[in-house]
Amino acid sequence: MKRFENVHMEGLRNTMTEKELDSKLESAGQLQVRQLLQTMPEESLSLTWRSSLNEKLMASVETRRRKRRVAWFLSPALGIGLASVFAVVFLVKPNVTPEPAQSSSSSLEAKLVASHQDSVRYGEVTGAGLNQDEVIDGKSVTSVSTDYGEVDLGSL
């Protein structure tokens, strides 16, 4: 169809001037087609169609109102929110003093030092040859175990 139309359109352009085309359009046969078309009966739409359109129009009105309301509500709220976020981030600087970081290696060193000090103390109190379990409250076990009288020895 399109091919035929294009051929005819080209043909019309080549063979007819606009005046000739106008006079052709005013010919009796062409005008009769126009008359026929104008007398064609009109199809009417149902009441269901109309009420459905009304519902859609009302819905669109509601949607528009809601959007406007939300936009009205959100625009200042959004502005204030953004402004306060910027204020917090850029203007209010937190006054925090940096604490010296304790690395895991320093705590190990501290433990080693403490362990060394303990062993020195034990060594001073008990002398060489005693281990940690044999010492109670800085006294040697032997001094504690002499806590008996002569009577006890006699009963043996």
**Contact residues: other proteins, CB under 8 A:** 1-2, 4-5, 8-9, 11-13, 18, 21-22, 24-25, 27-30, 32-34, 36-38, 40-45, 49-50, 52-54, 56-58, 60-61, 64
Select 14 or 145, whichever has its Cβ closest to other proteins. Answer: 14
Q: For residues 118 and 114, give the distance between their C-alpha atoms in angstroms, rounded to a whole number.
A: 6
DSSP, res 89: I
**Which C-beta is closer to other proteins: that of 18 or that of 147?**
18
Query: What distance in Å separates the CA atoms of residue 61 and residue 54, rounded to the nearest whole number?
Result: 10
In contact, 121 and 110? CB cutoff 8 Å? no
| Alpha carbons 68 and 75: distance in angstroms, whole number | 10
CB of 89 to other proteins, least distance (A): 40
Residues in CB range of 136: below 8 A, 6 or more apart: 144
Q: What's the closest the beta carbon of residue 73 comes to other proteins, in angstroms?
A: 21
Six-digit token string for 70: 């939300």
In whole angstroms, how close is the CB of 51 to other proteins at the nearest point?
11
**Nearer to other proteins among residue 33 and residue 101 (C-beta):** 33
Nearer to other proteins, 21 or 113 (CB): 21
Q: Give the residue with the Cβ less far from other proteins, 28 or 96.
A: 28
User: Token pair of 118, please?
Assistant: 């303990």
CB of 48 to other proteins, least distance (A): 10
> What is the C-alpha separation between 89 and 23, in angstroms, rounded?
79
